[in-house]
């Protein structure tokens, strides 16, 4: 894919809130920018997940990406040693340190400034199209007089799009799905379901449904999903067709989604990957205390044009009412996969997030 911007230096800021989806999004963006000739400094306050999520990232295997540990004790002198950057991208509203802003501002002539982007949360709600690309003038602090811009990922052409690697279709076409399925679970189980979740209210329903179903292999991801399943099992032995998966890098996670017939996913990064996978999926949205996630989920299901039983399962899975389907038969999963594939086709007609972000930066320079 040809570059849409000359080589620029980027600072991308990532504070890890929980569950590591923010790390996944930021690393994917950094890697895609690097593929397009950009130089990136990725600031992270926690880097523990990178060795397994992005092997080699901390060792400099991507020369165009430099990982900087975002530490409060960084001195003015250390910040002063950094060359000027052209673009600042704060992921999910994590504002750069004031000392960084002050030191960088001193490197810009009067009347000039970096392109400063607030890369926002993903949503299908109507406000995203209204807010996308709007300016936010800074009225105080070391950046007074500069402008920060809202940049919203999204599902329509009036938003910033979704992260999508330029080689994704080729990788999917070359993927040996049957070989992966055979290696991951007993060949006697024709259906494969992956479980990547928090602790959804409906998890006992799913485990009850699958516990005696020898036609279905359940692939359980590490972390909260695995802990929740082991808690449900208690003293019961785990069925041999329930497979505890290891930690894998982002490519390995994608391949699991491509290979399974139904994917239970959570958060934002894995939702996008489930869409690109083109298989049936159920999304557990990140819960919020004021239940704002209810509207967010409903807006997404409307955009997806999901079948009624799939929408009902999403609400049931997220504790929003609804009912489970009478079965998870292959025919039902194929119908749900068709809905995903129709949505994916719409998304493939739109420019991806990295392309749009590069174009936006060149517009504002």
Rounded Cα distance between 334 and 71, Å, is 48
Classify the C-alpha dihedral 126-345-268-34 as positive or negative: negative
Classify the C-alpha dihedral 177-36-354-81 as positive or negative: positive
* Per annotation, catalytic residue among 86, 90, 261, 268: 268
Contact between 215 and 241 (Cβ < 8 Å): no
268 labelled catalytic: yes
48 labelled catalytic: no
Angle, alpha carbons 121-126-129 (nearest 5°): 70
Other beta carbons less than 10 A from residue 99's beta carbon? 16
Residue 363: DSSP 8-state: H
Rounded Cα distance between 23 and 53, Å, is 9
Other beta carbons less than 10 A from residue 308's beta carbon? 8
> DSSP for 121-183?
----STHHHHHTT-EEE--SSTTTT-EEEEE---SSTTS------TTHHHHHHH--HHHHHHH
Contact between 216 and 191 (Cβ < 8 Å): yes
The tokens for 290 are: 């004021």
Classify the C-alpha dihedral 123-127-133-135 as positive or negative: negative
Classify the C-alpha dihedral 96-101-107-111 as positive or negative: positive
Other beta carbons less than 10 A from residue 59's beta carbon? 10
Residue whose C-alpha is closest to residue 69's, from 90, 51, 46 = 46
Residue that is written with structure tokens 């992966």 in the block: 180
Residue 331, SS3 per DSSP:
helix
| Positions marked catalytic | 22, 268
């Amino acid at each position: 894919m040809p570059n849409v911007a000359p080589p620029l230096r980027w600072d991308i800021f990532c504070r890890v809130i929980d569950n590591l989806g923010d790390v996944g999004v930021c690393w994917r963006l950094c890697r895609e920018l690097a593929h397009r000739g950009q130089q990136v400094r990725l600031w992270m306050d926690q880097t523990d997940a990178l060795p397994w999520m992005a092997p080699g990232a901390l060792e400099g295997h991507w020369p165009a990406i430099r990982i900087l540990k975002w530490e409060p004790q960084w001195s003015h002198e250390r910040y002063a040693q950094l060359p000027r950057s052209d673009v600042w991208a704060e992921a999910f509203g994590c504002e750069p340190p004031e000392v960084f802003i002050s030191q960088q501002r001193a490197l810009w002539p009067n009347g000039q400034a970096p392109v400063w982007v607030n890369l926002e949360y993903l949503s299908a709600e109507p406000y995203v199209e209204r807010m996308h690309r709007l300016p936010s003038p800074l009225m105080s602090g070391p950046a007074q007089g500069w402008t920060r811009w809202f940049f919203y990922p999204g599902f329509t052409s009036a938003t910033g799009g979704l992260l999508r690697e330029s080689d994704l279709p080729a990788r999917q076409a070359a993927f040996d799905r049957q070989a992966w399925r055979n290696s991951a679970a007993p060949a006697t189980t024709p259906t494969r379901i992956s479980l990547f979740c928090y602790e959804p209210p409906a998890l006992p329903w799913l485990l009850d449904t699958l516990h005696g179903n020898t036609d279905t292999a359940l692939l359980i991801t590490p972390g909260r999903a695995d802990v929740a399943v082991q808690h449900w099992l208690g003293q019961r032995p785990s069925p041999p067709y329930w497979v505890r998966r290891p930690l894998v890098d982002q490519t390995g996670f994608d391949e699991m989604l491509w290979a399974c017939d139904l994917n239970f996913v959570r958060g934002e990064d894995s939702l996008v990957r489930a869409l690109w996978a083109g298989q049936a999926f159920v999304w557990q949205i990140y819960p919020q205390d004021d239940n704002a996630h209810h509207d967010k989920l409903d807006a997404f299901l409307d955009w997806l044009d999901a079948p009624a039983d799939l929408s009902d399962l999403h609400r049931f899975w997220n504790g929003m009412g609804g009912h489970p389907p009478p079965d998870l038969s292959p025919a039902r999963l194929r119908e749900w996969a068709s809905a995903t594939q129709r949505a994916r086709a719409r998304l493939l007609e739109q420019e991806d997030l990295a392309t749009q972000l590069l174009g936006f930066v060149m517009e504002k320079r």
